[in-house]
Structure 1
Amino acid sequence: MSNELRVLTEPDWKAWLDALEWAFGGLHDAPEEQQLWRDLLDFDRSFGLWDGDRPVGTFGTLAMEVTVPGGTALAAAGVTTVSVAATHRRRGVLRSMMRRALDTYRESGEPLAILTASEPAIYGRFGFGAATQSLAADIEIHRVGLDLPAGVDDIALSVAEPAAVAGRCEELYARLARTRPGMFPRQPGWERLPLLDPPQDRAGASEQRYVLAERDGELAGYARYALKPEWEAAGAKGTVIVRDLEAADPAAYGALLRYLSGIDLMSTLSLANRPVDDAFLHMVSDVRRARTRVQDRLYLRPMDVGAALAGRTYATEVDVVLDVSDASCPWNEGRWRLSGGPKGAVCEPTADAADLALPVAALGAAYLGGTSLAALAAAGRVEELRPGALARAATAFTSPLAPWMPHGF
């Protein structure tokens, strides 16, 4: 067997994509979806491992940005389309592709790398920590009342076809993307993502629509949704499937929630990916009948510990020396002094004694403020070396809003 790891090229695309789709179950994406990811993929930093004339491993990279605490958007390498053929398991295929990618990301200068994990157990060994969670809910809308904020009746609602209003919605999303850690300020081309709606992926649901929430002609929020009708002997029991819901203020959010909960012939409002501190939790009369579920979402690793920690702000003043271990990126190994607060921070190598010791995956998990350093310490993932340092650092790393990844990649 002669394996060759090489950069993805246009002539290799079709075979590379076929290998990826078979690795994920053999179902092929719609042509428009394939074209979008082909256009977004950074071919120069995407790879395939070839065994003779066939690809047996795929590894893609997207040039992305992620909002961090304080509202800055940092460059991030988005790891995507990772697969290994079943015939080539346990031969170091993924490790060789990841090694090549991490070295490339360092050369490119991104302070962060991010991914979503189809199998979470895989990526911790490469330094990725679970940095955000998402909340899903299936609200029994005929058994749950709504306690809505003031100003809801001042919001005008209108339903529109996606192509007609997507531009306005994208402008609102761009403003909101800087307000919560974990969100992605979308680069050119990504505006096509919400418009993807291939019939083969609807699973019995309708085509998608938008509902706009406006105040005095200004867009204050929107939801992208589809309807899945269903009937039983007693009558209709359909589902409203919410794919996006963005609002600039409580009244706009409340107006959208009331609309989505009041569509005729529907009995369930399904929210698939919401922040764990989403506002609907405090607007429904019975949160138990919202049937909520929480799941890990965005995995993050610092590619450059100094640049990553200096790129965000902190809830309180902090001066702490971190002893970081990082087997995959040895340039991050060692002690780093982090000094800063709500207005900014610096982080540089130091010879001073360490206050906390932790692996880079734990630092990635805590980086966006959604996972407490104290909770990681309770699990043995962070070691306190100076009494009191853990509590102060854990407080400084927190975020007022829970970090949230708004869509997959």
Structure 2
Amino acid sequence: MTTELRVLSGSEWDVWFGCLESAFGGVPIAPETREMYAELTEPDRALGHWDGADCVGTAGAHSFRVAVPGGAVVPAAGITMVSVAATHRRQGLLTAMMRRQLDDVRSWGEPLAVLLASEPGIYGRFGYGAATSEMNLRIDSSRVLLSSPPGTDGVRLRQASPARALDACEAVYGRLAASRPGTPLRQPGWERVPVNDPERGRQGGSALQCVLAERDGEVTGYATYHLRPAWDDAGPKGTVAVRDLMALDSASYAALWRFLFGIDLMSVVECRNRPVDDAVLRLVSDVRRCEVRLRDGLYVRLVELGAALEARTYRTPVDVVMEVEDAFCPWNAGRWRLTADSKGAATCRRTHDDPELALSVKELGAAYLGGVSLSTLAAAGLVRELRPGALAGASSAFSSDIQPWCPHGF
């Protein structure tokens, strides 16, 4: 079967997106969400596979800037909307799109590609490594108490319309984003994503609600959430479904959580995507009633290995030669010397020196944001130490004090 792979034209978007919807089960998304993603799609960075007039494959790439260890913000292609029609599976369409897409990303001068996988087994063969995790919580707030750091009682809380509070919330997000690896700095238009609130996505809950934390007249945090009332013979047992919570200081952070735990008629606080080092687990009185569940988050692909490794800083000094395998992007394959000084600034250059570690680009992608240790990967047999001591030094250097996290989908 012959198909044509080409860059999307704006007039083809509806057909192209229809192929995506069909591949993901055929249930149309809400009209307002569809309109939002139509505006966020960058046609000149999107690919379609066409069989005559039929679109049978899709792949997009948003222009992102992602925080990396050390606080730098690195250009990255946010890979999204990847699908292949059921009629055209197992014919090489996905591989062809991944090949073209990574070549394009390299030509755009973006050293990283990142994605959120619909299925975790798909993208490893193209060099993407699972670099972050997300934590889901279901907390019995009727039985779990919260401790409060000094200053919590001095925080003022104020209900606000999510739309009207958007600028204030985005200002908080913008101040925090660069401090946590894996977090995208939102480009124009992306501020709509956290307040997009189609009725069919509420799971029987309320419209999106927002509460602001303020100190000395300044907004220092916010939480957005839905309420899902429920009753049984014993009385109310509603759920607070937290969508976002961010704060600039510990008192504002605790005040927001205390508010969510104390909403009348609610007995459960539910969060679907929190960082794995979220401090709320240090505030609760009984962590066993928090039903913690982890799942994979952001996948990272080093497109230009040298530039990517030089873009971040390192926690400890390091000087290591790595033998890197990368069959899909062979320009990355070979030996690289990574050197970082006491301030974390790094150089990464080709070398003919003897290798001290051997690993694939997938493992480098997993370790890149500091959330997955090279030592753990070595324990799984995915990194080989060729010089005694090299693994411990490199693993320490790649680590991050703050766990990486991607707070929203794309």
Q: Same fold (TM over 0.5)?
A: yes
**1:1-400 correspondence to structure 2 within 5 Å:** 1-341=1-341, 342-400=343-401
Q: Which runs of 5+ in 1 are unaligned?
A: none
Distance in 1 separating the partners of 2:43 and 2:318 = 40
CA contact (8 A) 1:43 1:61 kept: no
Counterpart amino acid of residue 388 in structure 1: G
CA contact (8 A) 2:64 2:184 kept: yes
CA contact (8 A) 2:316 2:344 kept: no
Under a length normalisation based on structure 2, what TM-score does the superposition of the two structures give? 0.99
Counterpart amino acid of residue 13 in structure 1: W
Q: Does the residue aligned with 2:74 lie in a helix, a strand or coil?
A: strand
Distance in 2 separating the partners of 1:29 and 1:235 = 35
Distance in 1 separating the partners of 2:387 and 2:282 = 39
Distance in 2 separating the partners of 1:31 and 1:170 = 24
Q: Does the residue aligned with 1:240 lie in a helix, a strand or coil?
A: strand
CA contact (8 A) 2:315 2:344 kept: no
Under a length normalisation based on structure 1, what TM-score does the superposition of the two structures give? 0.99
Distance in 2 separating the partners of 1:343 and 1:393 = 12
Q: Which runs of 5+ in 2 are unaligned?
A: none
Q: Does the residue aligned with 1:175 lie in a helix, a strand or coil?
A: helix
Following superposition, the deviation at residue 252 of structure 1 comes to 0.6
Counterpart amino acid of residue 374 in structure 2: L
Is 90-99 or 34-43 further displaced after alignment? 34-43
Following superposition, the deviation at residue 89 of structure 1 comes to 1.1
CA contact (8 A) 1:117 1:299 kept: yes
Distance in 2 separating the partners of 1:350 and 1:36 = 47
Following superposition, the deviation at residue 345 of structure 1 comes to 0.7
Counterpart amino acid of residue 401 in structure 1: I
Q: Does the residue aligned with 2:121 lie in a helix, a strand or coil?
A: helix
Sequence identity percentage: 57
Is 333-342 or 65-74 further displaced after alignment? 333-342
Q: Does the residue aligned with 1:281 lie in a helix, a strand or coil?
A: helix
Q: Does the residue aligned with 1:354 lie in a helix, a strand or coil?
A: coil
Q: Paired residues, what number?
A: 409
Q: Which residue of 1 aligns with 2:406?
A: 405
Per-residue displacement from partner, 1:358-390 (whole Å, max 9, x unpaired)?
000000000000000000001111011111000
Q: Does the residue aligned with 2:221 lie in a helix, a strand or coil?
A: strand
Following superposition, the deviation at residue 80 of structure 1 comes to 0.2
Distance in 1 separating the partners of 2:38 and 2:318 = 43
